[in-house]
Amino acid sequence: TAARLKGKTIVITGASSGIGRSCAVEFARTQPDDLKLILTARRYDTLKEVAAEIAGFAKGVKVHPVKLDVSNPEEIDKFVGQLPDEFKEIDVLVNNAGLVKGVAQAPNISPADINTMFSTNVTGVIAMTQAILPIFKARSDGGRGDIVNIGSIAGREPYQGGSIYCATKAAVRSFTDALRKELIATRIRVIEIDPGQVETEFSVVRFGGDKEKAKKVYEGVEPLTGEDIAEVVVFAVGRRENVVLADTLIFPSHQG
């Protein structure tokens, strides 16, 4: 895997915490000698902390932190337009940024929360993909790259109180599958990884910062860690070009 990652330029959305942050660290740990990471999220200071952590153990990894809200198309345009020269030839996009707001029956979910979830989890994934595909296609080595979309079990098994979040993840799933078919004749791989329960800031965000409520979500289940998902993401990207992990579900062993 390390040899196949050598020299790659990797964009990760939502790299300030949880799974995205773990992906950044895991890519750097696997290929500490020659790798470029473009780490994006809304919290720029936190991204700089991730960059400092990586600099502490992976001397050959160049990190470019960028403040980027994926729900804002203008910010995405600016992001692509302002990439430094040495980060311009992108190999991998990890569409990881995402969130759930609240637990409520469908009639009680506010238009603002619906918009936040769809514009981040769905439009954000689509817009980032649309922004990066032309970069893949224009590559000097003939057009190739990897798109890794982080979906969720929620996109396959909808649950009460999560209708909008589940709908966003089902949308990601459909988009990913159609895109993979559209790109089948190219050297661009489209990969989806759907986690079950992972203990990150995800539940804290869902409950508006209430850490006690967030902790209760994992009662009775030993959740996965961000590292567990990151290992699969790095494994998928590190396969030889003819191998695509098109659709992978990863659960804690005891999650029903």
* Active centre residues (catalytic): 165, 169
Instruction: Report, in Å, the least distance between residue 221 CB and ligand NDP.
Output: 10
Give least dist CB 224 to ligand NDP, A.
Answer: 8
State which of residues 120, 128, 173, 192 lies at the interface with ligand NDP (CB under 6 A): 120
**CA 112-118-123 angle, 5° bins:** 130
Rounded to whole angstroms, the Cα distance separating 109 from 168 reads 14
Q: How many CA atoms lie within 13 A of 142 on its CB side?
A: 3
Residue with smaller CB distance to ligand NDP, 187 or 218? 218
Q: How many CB atoms lie within 10 A of CB 253?
A: 8
Q: Binding string, 128-157, against ligand NDP, x = CB under 6 A?
A: ----------------------x-x-----
Token reading at 116: 């936040």
For 256, residues 6+ apart whose C-beta sits below 8 A from its C-beta are none
CA dihedral 228, 184, 86, 227 (to 10 degrees): 0
Residue 63, classified by CB atoms within 10 Å of its CB into exposed (0-12), middle (13-18) or buried (19+), is buried
208-247 residues near ligand NDP, rule: CB under 6 A: 226
Rule CB under 6 A: choose which of 70, 131, 167, 234 binds ligand NDP.
70
Rounded CA-CA distance 224/78 in Å is 35
Among 42, 62, 137, 213, binds ligand NDP (CB under 6 A): 42
Place of tokens 């062993």: 253
To ligand NDP, the closest distance from the beta carbon of 143 in angstroms equals 27
Q: Give me the 156-195 binding string for ligand NDP, x by CB under 6 A, dash otherwise.
A: ---------------------------------------x
Q: How far is the CB of 145 from ligand NDP (least distance, A)?
A: 20
State which amino acid sits at residue 40: T
Question: Which residue ranges make up the site for ligand NDP (CB under 6 A)?
Answer: 13-14, 16-20, 41-43, 46, 68-71, 96-99, 120, 150, 152, 195, 197-198, 200-202, 205, 226
